């Protein structure tokens, strides 16, 4: 076991830190520590400008292969980049869905034409993406997708024809800011569950797509509903064959080795530090029950970091399956963060009710406390996580499948 980074990697760390220090200034100063989960509605335009600034410095898509415009960083360097990015307080990355999800999927499963068409815009920080997976009837049961994709031939024979998409997606974050969406939709109308789906790359700016913000528990909107009413997708913009959409969509999971987790933990540490400062200032730090909870939060955040280091050092299965320490990660961090929200409020005492201003202007910690309730729901609820852990990690029987009507 070796826990330190190589001298070369430490030099890379210095390079990242210096660049951020030199560039997160002037008009971007106000973006520090803003725009993360729960705060994504803030400064959208300024953060788009920041994305392009990052791109100009070569700091987008650092983990992508060089041939696709990435920096070709090793896992260690990606970890370092994420750590330094969070340490510097650089803002929530508006391009993260393109960089982390759409791009890698296109690289792995897309055609050469799709790569050339879509990857440069992501690398340049010009084109933002959102993810069209969940539907009103397809939450935990994600395969229960009802959105339909129908292929329409061009009668004139001049074009290759097109896909026409009808249906509704929900919980689509950043849809209102995005240029493109990747959508899973049913190509075979008679199919059920994960069979008969397709994976489509679509332009957001078209008459058939309407975006409506969802007003959340925080009173703000970063999630959206997206309605598809005869929306169009070019014949060449399906990734994989019709019917292979589930395979493509699930392929993404195998790419997640946890490089972003250490950066995420840096944000958690910032929140905990803020709570500790408040506890010291208002005397909650002398309350034995609060002391225990703060110590527990701190200890578990440390272990979360060690767990990520194990994830990053592990090889995983050759089929892309996750190791045990990776299987449990979502359940652990989401539950930890939810507890953190409660701790923040309890440390503040009655003062936790006081808004920054009217009509509903939440402080960062109030917003965090409310927003963390989504952590244990999105990306697989805690209950779905437990099913996955029990079935894949412990070999317990799968949930009985009930045939669709």
Partner 1 sequence: MDFAFTEEQLMIRDTAEAFLAEVSTSEEIRKVMATDQGFDSDLWQRICADMYWQAIHIPEEYGGLGLGYVELVAMLEQMGRFLLCSPFFSTVCLGTNALIVAGTDEQKAEFLPQICEGTTATLAYTGKAAGKFGGQWGSDAVEATAVKDGDNYLLNGTLRYVADGATAQLLIVAARAIGTSGDEGVSLFVVPADTAGVERTWTPTVDQTRKQGEIVLNNVTVGASALMGAEGNAAANLAKIVNLATVAVAAEQMGGAAQIMDMTVEYTKERTQFNRPIAGFQAIKHMAADMMTRVEVARSGVYYAACVAEDALAVTRGEDGELAAELPEAASVAKSFCSETYFKNAGDGLQMHGGVGFTWEYDVHLYFKRAKSSEHFLGNAAYHRERIAAQLLDSE
Residues involved in catalysis: 256
Q: Figure out which of the listed residues 27, 306, 317, 342 binds partner 1, where binding follows CB under 8 A.
A: 306
Q: And the tokens for 390? A: 């029990």
- Residue 155's alpha-carbon distances to 126, 152, 208, 229, 271, in angstroms, are 35, 9, 21, 21, 59
Q: How far apart are CA 119 and CA 110, in angstroms?
A: 11
391 is a site residue for partner 1 (CB under 8 A): yes
Q: Figure out which of the listed residues 123, 328, 344, 348 binds partner 1, where binding follows CB under 8 A.
A: 328
User: β-pairing, 129-132 with 180-186?
Assistant: parallel
377 is a site residue for partner 1 (CB under 8 A): no
**Choice between 7 and 155, CB closer to partner 1:** 7
Q: Figure out which of the listed residues 73, 312, 334, 343 binds partner 1, where binding follows CB under 8 A.
A: 312
397 is a site residue for partner 1 (CB under 8 A): yes
348 is a site residue for partner 1 (CB under 8 A): no
Helix (H/G/I), strand (E/B), else coil: 163:
strand
314 is a site residue for partner 1 (CB under 8 A): yes
386 is a site residue for partner 1 (CB under 8 A): yes
Q: How far apart are CA 98 and CA 125, in angstroms?
A: 9
302 is a site residue for partner 1 (CB under 8 A): yes
Q: Figure out which of the listed residues 300, 344, 366, 370 binds partner 1, where binding follows CB under 8 A.
A: 300
Residue 121 has a CB neighbour count (10 Å cut-off) of 18
339 is a site residue for partner 1 (CB under 8 A): no
349 is a site residue for partner 1 (CB under 8 A): no
Q: And the tokens for 144? A: 């229960």
Q: How far apart are CA 344 and CA 272, in angstroms?
A: 8
- Residue 405's alpha-carbon distances to 167, 169, 192, in angstroms, are 19, 22, 10
Tell me the window of 95-103, 114-122, 212-220, 325-333 that interacts with partner 1 (CB under 8 A). Answer: 325-333
Helices (H), 57-141: 75-87, 96-97, 103-109, 112-123
Q: How far apart are CA 29 and CA 23, in angstroms?
A: 9
The answer to whether the CB of 148 falls within 8 A of the CB of 165 is yes
Q: Figure out which of the listed residues 215, 230, 236, 383 binds partner 1, where binding follows CB under 8 A.
A: 383
**Choice between 120 and 317, CB closer to partner 1:** 317
DSSP string, 192-231: -TTSSEEEEEEESSSTTEEEEEPP-TTS----EEEEEEEE
Helices (H), 65-102: 75-87, 96-97
Q: Figure out which of the listed residues 276, 345, 352, 377 binds partner 1, where binding follows CB under 8 A.
A: 276
**Choice between 25 and 299, CB closer to partner 1:** 299
**Choice between 15 and 391, CB closer to partner 1:** 391
146 is a site residue for partner 1 (CB under 8 A): no
3 is a site residue for partner 1 (CB under 8 A): yes
> Using CB under 8 A as the criterion, which residues of the chain lie in contact with partner 1 when the complex forms?
1-5, 9, 76, 79, 276, 279-280, 285, 288, 291-292, 294-296, 298-300, 302-304, 306-307, 309-310, 312-314, 324-325, 327-328, 331-332, 383, 385-387, 389-391, 393-397, 399-400
């Amino acid at each position: 076991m070796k826990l330190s980074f190589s001298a070369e990697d430490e030099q890379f760390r210095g390079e990242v830190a210096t660049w951020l220090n030199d560039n997160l200034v002037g008009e971007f100063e106000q973006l520090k520590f803003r725009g993360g989960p729960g705060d994504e509605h803030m400064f959208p335009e300024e953060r788009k400008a920041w994305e392009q600034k990052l791109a100009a410095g070569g700091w987008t898509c650092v983990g992508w292969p060089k041939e696709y415009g990435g920096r070709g960083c090793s896992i260690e360097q990606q970890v370092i980049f994420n750590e330094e990015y969070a340490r510097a307080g650089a803002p929530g990355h508006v391009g993260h869905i393109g960089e982390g999800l759409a791009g890698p999927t296109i690289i792995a499963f897309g055609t050469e034409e799709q790569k050339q068409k879509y990857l440069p815009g992501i690398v340049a920080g010009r084109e933002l993406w959102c993810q069209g997976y969940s539907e009103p009837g397809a939450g935990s049961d994600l395969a229960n997708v009802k959105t339909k994709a129908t292929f329409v031939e061009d009668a004139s024979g001049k074009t290759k024809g097109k896909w026409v998409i009808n249906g509704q997606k929900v919980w689509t974050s950043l849809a209102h800011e995005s240029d493109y969406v990747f959508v899973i939709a049913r190509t075979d109308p008679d199919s059920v569950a994960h069979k008969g789906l397709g994976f489509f790359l679509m332009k957001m700016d078209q008459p058939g797509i309407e975006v409506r913000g969802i007003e959340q528990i925080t009173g703000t909107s970063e999630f959206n509903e997206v309605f598809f009413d005869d929306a169009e997708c070019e014949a060449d913009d399906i990734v994989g064959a019709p019917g292979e959409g589930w395979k493509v969509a699930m392929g993404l999971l195998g790419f997640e080795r946890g490089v972003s987790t250490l950066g995420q933990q840096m944000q958690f540490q910032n929140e905990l530090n803020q709570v500790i400062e408040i506890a010291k200032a208002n005397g909650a730090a002398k309350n034995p029950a609060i002391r225990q909870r703060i110590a527990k939060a701190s200890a578990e955040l440390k272990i979360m970091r060690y767990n990520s280091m194990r994830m990053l050092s592990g090889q995983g299965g050759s089929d892309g399956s996750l190791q045990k320490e990776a299987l449990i990660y979502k359940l652990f961090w989401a539950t930890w963060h939810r507890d953190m929200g409660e701790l923040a409020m309890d440390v503040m005492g009655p003062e936790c009710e006081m808004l920054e201003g009217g009509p509903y202007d939440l402080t960062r910690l109030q917003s965090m406390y409310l927003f963390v309730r989504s952590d244990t729901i999105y990306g697989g609820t805690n209950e779905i996580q437990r099913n996955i852990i029990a079935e894949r990690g412990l070999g317990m029987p799968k949930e009985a499948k009930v045939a669709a009507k």
